[in-house]
Amino acid sequence: MNKALFLDRDGVINIDHGHVYKIEEFAFIEGIFELTKRYQNLGYKIIIITNQAGIAKGYYQREDFLTLMDWMINEFTQKGIHIDDYYFEESLEENHYRRKPNPGMFLEAINKHQIDPTESIMIGDKMSDLIAAHKANVKHLYFLKGRYEEKRVDFNYQTIYHLNEIK
């Protein structure tokens, strides 16, 4: 079984300005390259799990998102970091099984990549990120404090203010 470092995109990999889809508006969060490189070296698969409601809202097209993701992944590659996979859901439907806080994207990744969720990590900046990971039995959960507020949940997670706090 493999272990994974699951990452939300907006607010964890890049600064969340709200519906980021243009390369010129994309700014990496300090420490993301060091964090992913460290976990890659520890044998973790690096997998991105992101809601992209801006597509359904008509703010941008699926092609815009895919173009940005190709560019972003290339930026990681140039630094010697392999992004193993990414999953996105554009639906606005709150009960959609893939849309966080539902675990569908995590379960797909766990199945495809033979991941042991109890040995895996999720970093998110919204409680819906952690709820979805928790529902998929991901054990190590980190809430990156920033734009969104914490909400009371019935499971354990750790609050961090910078990515370099994760050891």
Q: Is 129 a catalytic residue?
A: no
Please identify which of the residues 10, 16, 125, 129 carries the catalytic annotation.
10
Q: What pLDDT, on the 0 to 100 scale, is given for residue 71?
A: 98
Q: Is 8 a catalytic residue?
A: yes
Please identify which of the residues 8, 16, 125, 129 carries the catalytic annotation.
8
- Asked whether the beta carbons of 166 and 160 are under 8 A apart, the reply is yes
Q: What pLDDT, on the 0 to 100 scale, is given for residue 132?
A: 98
CB within 8 Å of 3: residues ≥ 6 apart: 43, 44, 45, 115, 116, 119, 120, 121
**Of 50, 48, 46, whose CA–CA distance to 2 is shortest?**
46
Angle between helices 127-135 and 104-112 (to 10 degrees): 50
Q: What pLDDT, on the 0 to 100 scale, is given for residue 150?
A: 77
Mean pLDDT, consecutive 10-residue stretches, the chain (167 aa), reads 98 95 96 98 98 96 98 98 98 94 98 98 97 98 84 92 91
Rounded to whole angstroms, how far apart are CA atoms 49 and 122?
9
